[in-house]
Structure 1
Amino acid sequence: MAGPAPTLEDRLRSCRRSAVHLEMRDGYMRSDPRFAAWRAGERDGLVVAGAWLSLIAETTSRGVPVRRARIVSEPVSDYVRFEHHLTAGNVTAGEQVRWLARRRASDLALPGNDFWLFDGDVVVFHHFDGEGEPAADDEEVRTDQAAVRLCADAFTRVWERAVPHADYAIG
C-alpha cells in the first residue's frame, strides 16, 4: 500500500539537481492575512513564512538551485506589488527570482497552469479557482516526457527574457 503523496516540501528536500517554479497569475490567495495587512498599509514585519525560507536555504545550501519566474501583467496588480515586497526574503534565502512582463511572453508556448519542475523529470502543476485560492484538487503530478519537456522549455524561455528581482522596479 502506497503512503501519502509527497508534499512540495518533501520534493524540495529530495531534489538533487534543480527546482524551478513558474507563476503566471496576477493574484493568489487574496484571503492571506499578510496580504490583507499589506493592503492596510503594513510593510514592516511582513515576511514569507519562516519555514518556507528555511526550506529554500536548506535546499540551496545543498547546491540545488531554486529558481522562480513570474509572468505579470503591467501595470501590476496589488497582489503582485505585495509579492514583490516579500521577494527580498526569498532572494536572501537563496532563491533566484525573475519577473517577465506578460507582453513579452506573447510568443512563448506556456502550459496552462503554474508549475514546479523538480530535477527535470517531475512536474507538479498547481490548480487555482477563479479567485486565486487553491482548488480542491490543487496539485497534479506528471512525469510524462511531453509535460516535462513543455515545462522545461517554457521555463527556460521565460527565464532568458525575465528581469532579475533586483532590477525589476514596479511603479
Structure 2
Amino acid sequence: MLDRLNSYSGRAMARPEYHADLKREYAARSGVFWKLERAQFFNEVGDSAWDAFKAGDWDRVLALFESDRERVSWDVASEEQRGVEMRRLRIVEHPPSTYLRWEMHSHMVFAECGRPIRVLGAERVADLEDDGALPELLILGEDVLYQVRYTEDMTPNGAVRADDRATVRAAAALVADLYERAEPLADYFRREIAPLGPPSYPG
C-alpha cells in the first residue's frame, strides 16, 4: 500500500481548500471512515486547549476538552443516522511524548462519546516503516483518501487527495488490519497515561 500511495500523484491542496473539500466529501458519503495518526507531535495552531497547555493551565485544558462532549456526542449520533462510522487508529511510541499525554485526554472524551479509537505501539508497525514513518491519513469509504501534510514544525499544511479506488481500498485495508491488532484507547489510557499525571509543556 505504501508503495502505491507514494507513487500516486494526487491533487495537492492548501489547508483552506483541503478543509472545504473534506467538508463536502464527508457530508456526501457513508460507510467506514478511517483516521490514521502516526506522528508523536503536532503543532496545534489555533487550538484553545493547546494554548492553555502551553500556558501551563492544565485545569483549563481539561475544561476545554470536557466542553466538547455535547458536540462530539451529536456528531456521533448524526453519523450513525447517515451510516457513517469514523474509526481512529493512534500509533504510539513509548514512553509517550508530552504531546501524546495531552492529546490522549481529548481522545478519551471522544471515546466516551462513542467514537471508536484504538491504540497500537509503534513497534508493531516497524516492518512497514523501512522507508519512513507511516503517513497521516484520512480515508472516506472506498473512494477518497487524504494524505495530510505538515510543515517541518508539524503545523498543518493541507493535504494530497487520492481518488484512485485501488489506492484508497489498499490503504483502507491496511489501516483496518492494524486497527484489528490494536487495543481500545481506554485500556491504553488507564495503563500508560493516567498514572503519569498531568504533563507539563514542553516537558
CA distance in 2 between counterparts of 1:48 and 1:114 reads 26
Deviation string 1:110-139 (CA, Å, 9 cap, x unpaired) is: 98521111112210110011221012xx11
1:19 aligns with 2:33: yes
Structural mapping, 1:10-49, within 5 Å: 10-31=24-45, 32-39=47-54, 40=56, 41-42=58-59, 43-47=61-65
- What residue in structure 1 maps to residue 142 of structure 2? 120
Q: Is this contact kept in 2: 1:99–1:162, CA < 8 A?
A: yes
**Greater fraction of residues in helix:** 2
CA RMSD of aligned residues (A): 2.6
The change in CA–CA distance for 1:61 and 1:84 in structure 2 (over 3 A counts) is farther
- State TM-score, norm by structure 1: 0.82
The change in CA–CA distance for 1:11 and 1:49 in structure 2 (over 3 A counts) is farther
Q: Is this contact kept in 2: 1:35–1:79, CA < 8 A?
A: no
Decide which moves more: 60-69 or 122-131. 60-69
Structural mapping, 1:1-171, within 5 Å: 6-31=20-45, 32-39=47-54, 40=56, 41-42=58-59, 43-47=61-65, 50=68, 53=72, 54-108=74-128, 112-135=134-157, 138-169=158-189, 170-171=192-193
Pairwise CA distance, 1:65: 1.1
The structure number with the bigger radius of gyration is: 2
Structure 1 consecutive aligned stretches of length 4 or more whose deviation exceeds 6 Å: none
CA distance in 1 between counterparts of 2:71 and 2:126 reads 31
User: Secondary structure of the equivalent of 1:27?
Assistant: coil
Deviation string 1:68-123 (CA, Å, 9 cap, x unpaired) is: 00111111111111111011221234320001110111124798521111112210
User: Secondary structure of the equivalent of 2:84?
Assistant: coil
User: Secondary structure of the equivalent of 1:74?
Assistant: coil
Structure 1: stretches of 5+ with no match in the other structure:
none
Deviation string 1:31-52 (CA, Å, 9 cap, x unpaired) is: 4341232351334312288496
Alignment coverage as a number of residue pairs: 166
The higher relative CO (CA closer than 8 Å, separation ≥ 6) is in 2
